[in-house]
């Protein structure tokens, strides 16, 4: 039987009447179909109505998606966002407790972009709200143009921590990634370790050490180029192996 892979949704307004929808990009669904070998299950952003116990008991793995919205600063004692900054409190209200439950139970977790930021905040870390406003950081934000090759293409390199999980998966101590984010890790949460770092010092990949399961976060978007990029494909494949191992009662930790 195929595993059930939860994919976190955002609250987005669609249509001429701006009706609220629960949405996740098709890129995550395709990666789940093709590389993880699971059945994608969209997890709605229904905040306090989310039944975390039901979800965590039935899902075999969880993918936390990227989003234009930012994690609410009240969750990490940060300053109020600047006017116009998109937030999604209903998503935060679902994903934060879901992350904590997944880490505690050992349900494999792959956190991508906003998902990495949620992962860090859920375990007690904090965020920079706009890396491009900091004097010692580069602009990590999305190029606002329609050409997908430019918008989602490789933007900068990362230094992969030698001997880390990502080092073993990538087979390299330096990789190139896309870059589509404003927020970034400020204080790394207890129980998380850095797996890769950008040239300006921004932590771009993390791993939980206090969990019996696979719990990895990446700041870039491997779902955009997994069909062409070997490292992106390897990340999803490793997540899939962890899901399969847990279903068989074996260790699924990303050591």
Report the alpha-carbon distance of residue 142 to residue 2 in Å, rounded: 35
228 among known catalytic residues: no
Pairing of strands 19-23, 127-128: unpaired
128 among known catalytic residues: no
223 among known catalytic residues: yes
Report the alpha-carbon distance of residue 122 to residue 240 in Å, rounded: 23
By three-state DSSP, how is residue 55 classified?
A: helix
**Catalytic choice (9, 10, 113, 128):** 113
**Catalytic choice (118, 195, 204, 223):** 223
User: Exposed/middle/buried for 175, CB within 10 Å: 0-12, 13-18, 19+?
Assistant: buried
Q: What are phi and psi of 232, to 5 degrees?
A: -60, -45
Q: Kindly list the catalytic residues.
A: 113, 221, 223
């Amino acid at each position: 039987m195929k595993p059930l892979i939860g994919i976190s949704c955002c609250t987005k307004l669609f249509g001429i009447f701006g009706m609220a929808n629960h949405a996740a990009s098709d890129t995550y669904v395709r990666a789940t179909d093709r590389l993880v070998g699971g059945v994608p299950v969209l997890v709605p952003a229904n905040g306090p109505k989310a039944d975390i116990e039901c979800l965590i008991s039935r899902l075999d793995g969880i993918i936390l998606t990227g989003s234009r919205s930012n994690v609410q600063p009240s969750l990490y004692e940060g300053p109020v966002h600047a006017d116009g900054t998109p937030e999604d409190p209903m998503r935060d209200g679902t994903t934060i407790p879901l992350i904590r439950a997944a880490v505690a139970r050992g349900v494999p977790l792959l956190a991508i972009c906003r998902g990495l930021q949620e992962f860090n905040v859920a375990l007690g870390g904090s965020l920079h709200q706009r890396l491009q406003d900091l004097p010692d950081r580069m602009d990590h934000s999305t190029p606002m143009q329609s050409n997908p090759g430019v918008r989602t293409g490789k933007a900068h390199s990362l230094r992969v921590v030698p001997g880390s999980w990502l080092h073993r998966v990538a087979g390299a101590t330096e990789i190139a990634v896309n870059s589509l984010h404003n927020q970034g890790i400020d204080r790394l949460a207890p129980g998380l370790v850095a797996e890769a770092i950008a040239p300006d010092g921004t932590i771009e990949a993390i791993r939980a050490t206090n969990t019996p399961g696979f719990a990895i976060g990446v700041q870039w978007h491997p779902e955009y180029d997994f069909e062409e990029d070997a490292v992106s494909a390897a990340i999803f494949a490793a997540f899939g192996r962890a899901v399969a191992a847990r279903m068989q009662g074996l260790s699924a930790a990303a050591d």
